[in-house]
Amino acid sequence: MCYRYVLQREALGALATQLGVSRTPDWRSRYNLAPGEAVPAVRQRAGAGGRSYEVVNLHWGLLPAWAQEAATVPANARAEGLSGSPMFREAFRRRRCVIPASGFYEWRAQGGRRQPYLFFLGDGATLCFAGLWEPGREPEGGRAAGSCAIITTAPNELVRPIHDRMPAILESDAFDAWLDPDAERPVLDGLLLPAAGGTLARVAVDRGVGNVAND
């Protein structure tokens, strides 16, 4: 995944309604989100049992509590190495989240230039990326309630000609299992899949999306 995605306000609202979340952070539609920004994510509500979720802003770029502050933190986490990586192991075990999107970008080398493509669900529904999160280091009430990374997996047949990775996309009936802090690893591993064939669409977009200033 090339570190850019889209999240429209309506997509965030639709997911919150689906999950029974009454309050979400203020959000305006964004069309070129990049690592280092605060992005909305769904996670299990602290101290709540069962199916009780909240939507919070998380800094896109995972920073575990034990790690030193760094200029570069991982925005993505490869599904194949989560349980063996010190950076991601504890978050994979206990702190998983869902990161909503309206679409994501990938780039393909084409005639000496890089052509961006936007991938989205053909029916216009909200994409739900599997993610990990870590608690924030700032006092409560800061800009973000922690940090996060998007999990990537092997591409499906639509993405493969463009890029060799894509976000792991959760089906709506997988949310409860993914967000369950007591879920077993075999269950979790089985959820980290590319989008099913025929569900995604793609379109070439203007190269201006390569500049994060162009939203």
Task: Give the residue numbers marked as catalytic.
Answer: 2, 106
Sign of the C-alpha dihedral, residues 35, 127, 170, 204?
Answer: negative
Q: Residue 19 corresponds to which tokens in the numbers above?
A: 């999950």
> Is there a contact between 42 and 11 (Cβ–Cβ < 8 Å)?
no
Integer Cα distance of 139 and 156 in angstroms: 41
3-state helix, strand and coil shares in percent for the chain, rounded to the nearest 5:
15, 35, 50
